[in-house]
Structures are given as C-alpha cells and as structure tokens.
Structure 1
Amino acid sequence: MADATDLSAPELSADDFLRLDDPYFEPTNVAIVTGAASGIGQATAVALAVNGLTVIGADIDAEGLAETGDLAESFDADGEYYGVETDLTDDEDVAAVVAAAAEEGQLRYVANIAGMQHIASIAEFPMAKYDLLTDIMLRSPFKMAQEAIPHIEATNDGVGAIGNMSSVHGHYATKDKSAYITAKHGLTGLTRAIAAEGGGTLRGFSVSVGYVLTPLMVNQIEDTAEERGISKQEVIENVMLGQARTKEMMTPAEVANLFAFGFSSHAKHLNGADLLFDGGYTHTYE
C-alpha cells in the first residue's frame, strides 16, 4: 500500500475496459451516465462509449464532462459521447437530459452513478447536507427512471436496463455516514421496483463495491481521518480495508466494467438484484 499522502485516483487507459460482443452495443442505442465528469461515472461513460453505445454524460461539472469526451476520443471509442451540463437536483434538468438523450437514438440504458459524501454523526449532521445528498443519490435516480422508462418501453422491443450505483453501505451500516447509508438502502428499493414494473425486458440492477480510489474517496479519507482523530494511513488500513479480504481498493474502471456487463445481454437474468464486488466486506468477519 502506497503512503496515504501519495494517494490519487488512477488515470484511465484503453486496456482497462472490458469489451463485450453484444447486439445492442451500437451507436443507435443510447445510455445516460450521471456523474460522468469524474471517478466511476467518468469511467463508466468511457466504458460504454468504447463498447459502441452513444453515451450522454450528465453532470454539473462542464469541464469534467469535456475531459470525459477527450478520454473517449483518445481511446478510439466505437460509440459517440456527448456531455450535457445537468443539475441532478433540478427535475426540469433531469427531464431535459433524458429528452436530449432520446433524440440521439433509442434510449435503452441509464447508469445512476452521481454521488457525494459527508462525514458526521446523526446528531451533528447538517440537514442541508442530508437533503443535498439524498436529492442527488436517491431522488434524482427515481426521477431519472421516471423520465427514462417510457422511452425504453417505446423502443422496438422494450429491452433496456437502469443500473444504480450502490455500495457495501447499501448492505450494512457504519457510523458517521448516515445520509449516505440511507440513500444506498433506498436505492435497493428503487432497483427492485424498477424490476417489478419492467416486464422482464426492462431490467433494474445495482452495483455494490467497497472502497474505490476516486477523487471523492481521497476526500473521504481526509474527512474520516479528521473526524476520528487518526492518520490517513490508519483510515485506509483499519477503517476502509480492515474488514476486506482483498487488500486493495478497486479502480473506477473495474466498477465501470460491472455496469457494462450489467447492461449487456450476458446479464439478462440480472434483474432486481445487486452485483456485489466488495472484496469480502459483507459476508466475512474476523
């Protein structure tokens, strides 16, 4: 493990991405990826473009969206990529980005990845932060599904999927992350509701991972260290990786590959369920 002071999110490379042979992975079919300006969202947008889909990246960070497009282009992606500056807490913005995506082809896929974190106990948690976090991570995915489902159902065969970024914190709780945990547990319900209403061709699934080395995670390491009064290295080794059996953080590209697989025809029986890649966090203990 590198010294915590040297931590930074890894740079993406063309070799990072799983490439799938799938009849639906072509530019006439469209995927929306939220949080596409950085981290897991950026990696997922690039992964889906590399796999031939037309990708609409939605994020409030216009500069980051442009960077995602540059990455897709540098990897000679078979699909197209368009970044749309979007405030995911604004229902009208969410509706507008879905409408824009539907104009580019048959909208079939949505990856709800945008997220944030705030470290504080329940007693000290600012309600403004709670509202912002749950608006981005729970309300926005619901609204995105509400807007996207009619378009997916209107395709020639109704085949599509909505994938939600969950977490090990959608399976269990730890202290000082109450809003995040609430949102991730709520996404489990939304995922199952999408599956229940999808008729078998429109699927809902979630992806749960442990700790991923993203810019958000680098910030969280610093926040957790301050909150608990320990070093950043202790946060990584004892708090984040202490319970895991796989002693390394995942990369954004590894998570992006799970979304690519989940959207593919290879995962047609993945419906209402969760892809749990957590290094042993959830089902093992000391």
Structure 2
Amino acid sequence: MPTDDDFELSEPTLAADDLLVLEDPYFGPESVAVVTGGASGIGQALAVALAANGLTVVAADIDEDGLDETVALADDVDAPGSIEPVAADLTDDVAVESMIDTAADAGDLRFVANVAGMQHIASIAEFPMERYDLMLDIMLRSPFLISKLAMQHIRDTDDDESSDDASSDRTQSGDGVGAIGNMSSVHGHYATQDKPAYITAKHGLEGLTKSIAAEGGGTLRGFSVSVGYVLTPLMVDQIEDTATERGISEREVVEDVMLGQARTKEMMTPAAVANLFVFGFSQHGRHLNGGDMLWDGGYTTTYE
C-alpha cells in the first residue's frame, strides 16, 4: 500500500491522446472560439483542445507568459487549429470589447467559453469586500458582458436567418449557429462553508446560462459545465496550503477533505473538463441548451 511519502501531487502533462477530437461541420479554421482564463488550468487545456479540433482560438488572460505556454502546448500536440493569445483584463470593459472584436475579425465567432475564475477562502463575516467585488467581476459580470457582446456575432454566422424554411430545418437538425459555455461548479448546485463569493458567482452563472438559452432562439445555445475538484496549478497550491493549515498530509487533504464526499475517488484533469466543453460545442451537444453538464463524481447526488 502506498504511504504518504509516496504521495506526489502535480498537474498532469497535457498530451494529444488526452483530448477529445470530433468530426463537426463547424470545427474548422473559419470558426472562432473565445476562451477566457486561457493561460493555465482548464482554460489552457480547453484552448488547446479546441485548436486540436481545428478551430481558431482566441485565448484571453492577464498572464501573457502563460498564454505563450498555451500556444506552445498546441504546437506540442500538433493541433491543426491555431491559438491567438490576447492579453486582457476581464475587469476592464474596453479590454473585453477589444477581445471580442479580435475574435470577430479572425473569422466566424461561433463559440465562447467563460472559464476564468479565482478563489478566496473566508467566512461571510470575514470576507473582504474588495475581494468579493473582484471575484464577481471576473466570474459573473465579465461572462455577462462577453455574452452580451458575442451573441450578435454568433447570430451573424447564420447566413440564412432570413429564410424561415432554412431556420426551421436548421433548428430541427440541431446544427445551430453557435454556443456559449460557462464554467460552473458543484458549488453552482450546493454550498459549503467559507466560499461565499465563489458560490454566489457560480449560482449566478447558472442563471446567466439559462438566460442565454432563453434568448438564443433555439440555435444559439447556452450551457454550463459543473465539476468537483480539478488538478490545476491553483488546486495544487490550495492542497499544500490546506495541509499546512490543518496539520495533516497532502494525501489526507485530497482523500478526506476534497474527495471525502465524492464517490469517484479521483480528481479530474484539466483535459477531462476541456473535453466536456468540446462535446458541448459540437453537433453532439445540440440538445444541451440551458442545461448543465454535471460531472461531479457523486458530490451532489449521493450522501452517507
């Protein structure tokens, strides 16, 4: 049996075999996808995964060095698509507008993935309001603004929207014109202590997802993805900090604290989450509209 000394925690290396690649009429270089948080973790894996599916990807983040790494990773997996890095502060409306303009100029803006996020651990009583405001700006306000700016561009990819017959055929076949996917969480479904801003943002994001679907006309889809703990660089740091704070091993943090409630005793990888977005954006996700892909290992659906 492995001991605590054998326990090593690090973000998995992204490889081509980790990525879901699908045949889809919209998965080509003429179609553009925007991915926020594209410099690390899930956003980075998703940008590479979409490039692996042949799309032109606008990867946005405030971390320019991380964006360069994302471009290099796409080259490493021989992605047929391309990644255009855009340094953008999502709390700056002008920067967000510029990001969407860049995406629209690059081709047919069909897909948006609102992935960028952050965490802060504190009770409601002790939560610093400036941190609350920053988290809500990044994880709820910016997805709203990005969606607001992107929706017309996505609608404009429908060359035949003036034809009622064509629109009817397209809706029935499920081709659609594009989709906006939002990175939610198990904390968009339930609450735990000391994560009030994160929980508030993720619950709000679920509402935004449904609103996009309600206004999408059946062809512009909105969906969200909810997962539990994912092995990202930020999560590795959080595990180390929690182990020190509680005086327990990193193994105990993962197995007892983080995965204690889950039935699948394994953390997800960024690539596994990215693949859910790829599926959701594809023609295979055509009935995923306003709904949430809950891939949580049993966190919210089972109990002892």
TM-score, length of structure 1 as denominator length: 0.96
Aligned to 1:120: 122
Within 5 A, what are the aligned runs for 1:129-144?
A: 129-144=131-146
Once the 2 structures are TM-superposed, how far is the Cα of residue 222 of structure 1 from its aligned partner? 3.3
d(CA) in 2 for partners of 1:228, 1:174: 17
Does structure 2 retain, via aligned residues, the 8 Å contact 1:119–1:223?
A: no
Q: Identity percentage over the alignment? A: 71
Match of 2:195 among 170, 177, 192: 177
Q: Which amino acid aligns with 1:283?
A: T
Q: Secondary structure at the match of 2:294?
A: strand
Q: Secondary structure at the match of 2:118?
A: coil
1:238 correspondence with 2:256: yes
Once the 2 structures are TM-superposed, how far is the Cα of residue 237 of structure 1 from its aligned partner? 1.4
Does structure 2 retain, via aligned residues, the 8 Å contact 1:170–1:181?
A: yes
Q: Which amino acid aligns with 1:138?
A: L
Aligned to 1:270: 288
Once the 2 structures are TM-superposed, how far is the Cα of residue 269 of structure 1 from its aligned partner? 0.4
Match of 2:213 among 195, 204, 207: 195
d(CA) in 1 for partners of 2:120, 2:237: 10
d(CA) in 1 for partners of 2:131, 2:240: 18
Aligned to 1:220: 238
Which region of structure 1 is more displaced relative to structure 2, 212-221 or 253-262?
Answer: 212-221
Match of 1:208 among 226, 233, 236: 226
Aligned to 1:88: 90
Q: Secondary structure at the match of 2:144?
A: helix
Which region of structure 1 is more displaced relative to structure 2, 156-165 or 62-71?
Answer: 156-165
Does structure 1 retain, via aligned residues, the 8 Å contact 2:213–2:221?
A: yes
1:32 correspondence with 2:34: yes
Aligned to 2:19: 17
Alignment: residue pair count = 286
Does structure 1 retain, via aligned residues, the 8 Å contact 2:38–2:70?
A: yes
d(CA) in 2 for partners of 1:220, 1:194: 33
1:97 correspondence with 2:115: no
d(CA) in 1 for partners of 2:206, 2:55: 26
1:260 correspondence with 2:278: yes
Greater Cα radius of gyration, structure 1 or 2: 2
Once the 2 structures are TM-superposed, how far is the Cα of residue 233 of structure 1 from its aligned partner? 2.9
1:67 correspondence with 2:69: yes
Aligned to 2:184: 166
Q: Which runs of 5+ in 2 are unaligned?
A: 160-175
Shift of the 146–233 alpha-carbon distance from structure 1 to 2, 3 Å rule, reads same
Q: Which amino acid aligns with 2:118?
A: M
Q: Which amino acid aligns with 1:8?
A: S
Q: Deviations over 1:42-96 (max 9, x none)?
A: 0000000000110000000000001100111121111111100000111111110
Q: Which amino acid aligns with 1:27?
A: P
Does structure 2 retain, via aligned residues, the 8 Å contact 1:32–1:101?
A: yes
Once the 2 structures are TM-superposed, how far is the Cα of residue 206 of structure 1 from its aligned partner? 0.2
Q: Deviations over 1:226-283 (max 9, x none)?
A: 5556443332112210011110100000000000000001100000000000111110
Does structure 1 retain, via aligned residues, the 8 Å contact 2:50–2:278?
A: yes
d(CA) in 1 for partners of 2:115, 2:100: 15
Q: Which runs of 5+ in 1 are unaligned?
A: none
TM-score, length of structure 2 as denominator length: 0.91
d(CA) in 2 for partners of 1:223, 1:174: 18
Q: Secondary structure at the match of 1:69?
A: helix
d(CA) in 2 for partners of 1:103, 1:113: 22
Once the 2 structures are TM-superposed, how far is the Cα of residue 3 of structure 1 from its aligned partner? 4.6
Does structure 1 retain, via aligned residues, the 8 Å contact 2:4–2:249?
A: no
Q: Deviations over 1:187-217 (max 9, x none)?
A: 0000000000000110000000011000111
d(CA) in 2 for partners of 1:80, 1:16: 18
